[in-house]
Each structure stands twice: as structure tokens, then as C-alpha cells.
Amino acid sequence: MVRRSSRTTAQKGHPFGRRPSGGVADVLWDWSKSGTRHAARNRLLRKLPGVGAAAAYRFGLVERPHYAYGVRRATELAARLGHRGVTVVEFGVAGGNGLLALAEHARYYAAATGVAVRVVGFDSGAGMPAAKDPRDLPYLFGPGFYTMDHDRLRARLGTAELVIGDLAETLPAYLDTHAHLLRDHPVGFVSLDLDYCSSTNTALGLFRGPAHEHLLPRVTCYLDDLPGTIEQIGEAAAIADFNTAHTDRPIGRVLGLRAFTPFDPPWADQIYVHHRLDHPDYGRLEIGATGDQLPLDH
């Protein structure tokens, strides 16, 4: 029997059929899927009269709202624990769109909270390395995917830092040479967007060592590469490996986050938190959490 080629494809991002092209079909296609529908709706709402920066941030209407959420959580926790600075990190920068969005959100929340926000991106600068583990999804990613235009990106970076090289070398070296800065600006938000299980394992070295000063006791994490994979490969497998080896430092998905995030965004399912139970500040009551009472209503 001759197999006829199908008109549908199961490519990344388009699991249920071919993307139509042109006019109303494109608009319908975008509004039919929750991820693209949220982005399209946010763009529309941002244009409404009276929707300024404060409302856009409050309701998560900004570009990459998951990054804004992470920066907000990091600055709020830093302020509550009495830190004057915090660091937010993107692991996996590629062209740099995410790092620039992170830097923009950092400026907003630094002004809003008074907490200084350092922004750091880590990337090979030469695109994906060769896969090292079958759980790296080698059928989806290959060496040299996502190269960077260094000059164009550096021209727009502002005060954000870009650390170039293989993470296995750059991360330990950075933690060593920047220990003093990190003590004053502990890491409070991390975006993991390295695609590979092996690279994510390397990035989680941030949480492995005996020292605590470079980290807030709870670090919000965004895991970009979960959708479309399974628990046993990719980023999810790296998190599982970490949790098996470090039972007193779990990284887990925030349960029920959608219910208390405006507009119920799909990205809420990709927000995790590293709870560092052995951090000396773990049990410190956050300012603002004191004195809650639940008296009888009637």
C-alpha cells in the first residue's frame, strides 16, 4: 500500500494541524489555542485607553508576562527579607529577545520596589552544543541551533550582563568571581531555557553547592521547555534528578497558581519554586506575613 503524505504536521508549536496562512484564518488559528490567544488578547488590552504600565504589569499584559511575574516575586521577597538588591538570571539567551524583556521588567520592578535588580544571561554564544544524553531531545535540537548576533545584542543590553561560553565552565567561574556581588544581590528568579536535560542539569549547579549567600531562600523558576515533552526527558528529567539528589532543596511546580493569576494564563503551569529548606533565612517570617487572623464572619 502506498502511504499518502498527510496535510497535517505535528511540529513543535503546531500539534493539531497545519498553520493556516493569511487573514482571518490566521486570527482564528491564534485565538483557537490558549497560549497564542493569551498573547493576542494581551496585545489588544494593552492598547485600551487608560491601560498604563501599572495596569499592564498588574494584570500580566506585558510581553513575556512569566518573566515579569518572576521579577516581581524576586523583588518582593528580597524587599521583605531586607535585601537591597536581587539578581535575575536567564539560562539560554539565543538571539536575546528574552534577556531584553527580562531587563525591561527589571527596570520596572526596581523603580516600583526600590530593590536594585541585576540581570544576567548565560549562553554558549554559538548556539546549541552537541547533545550529551538521550534525554536531551536530540530528535528536536541539534548543534548550532539558535546562534547569537553578539554585536546587535550587546548594543541593546544596557546594564544587563551576558556571560558567554559553555555553562559547565562559565557558571562555576561566575559564582566564584561574583560571590561578593551576589551576596548583596542574591538570585531570586531563574528562567531555564536551555532545551537539553544535560544543560539544565548543569544550570541547576546554581542550587547545588554548600553556600547559601548567593540565593534567596525561595527562588522562583520558569521552565520554558516543558510543553510537549514528558516527565522522564528534557527539563523535567533534570528537575527530577536534582530532587532525587537534594531532598532538602526541592524544586516543585507551584500548585494552583492559575487560580490566583489574572486571566488564568497557561504559563502559570510552568512556574516552579526552589525551596531551600536548609537556607538560614528559610524560616524567617516575611514582613507583611505577620498578624494574619481569620475571625468568625458572624
Ligand X SMILES: C[S@@+](CC[C@H](N)C(=O)[O-])C[C@H]1O[C@@H](n2cnc3c(N)ncnc32)[C@H](O)[C@@H]1O
Out of 60, 70, 85, 98, point to the residue binding ligand X (CB under 6 A).
98
- The DSSP-derived string for 98-155 is HHHHHHHHHHHHHHHH--EEEEEEEE-SSS-----SGGG-TTT--TT-S---HHHHHH
Task: Report, in Å, the least distance between residue 141 CB and ligand X.
Answer: 8
Out of 193, 235, 237, 238, point to the residue binding ligand X (CB under 6 A).
193
CA–CA dist 246, 96 (Å, integer):
32
| 196 is an interface residue for ligand X by CB under 6 A | yes
CA–CA dist 240, 233 (Å, integer):
10
- Number of Cβ within 10 Å of residue 172's Cβ equals 14
Beta carbon nearer to ligand X, 101 or 115: 101
Question: Nearest CA to 208 among 244, 234, 236, 180?
Answer: 244
**Total number of residues binding ligand X (CB under 6 A)?**
21
Q: Per CB under 6 A, which region of 25-33, 78-86, 123-131, 263-271 contacts ligand X?
A: 123-131
Q: Per CB under 6 A, which region of 4-12, 29-37, 126-134, 241-249 contacts ligand X?
A: 126-134
| 12 is an interface residue for ligand X by CB under 6 A | no
- Residue 181 neighbours by CB under 8 Å, 6+ apart: 87, 118
| 57 is an interface residue for ligand X by CB under 6 A | no
Residues contributing to the site for ligand X (CB under 6 A): 90, 92-95, 97-98, 123-124, 127-129, 146, 166-167, 193-196, 199, 202
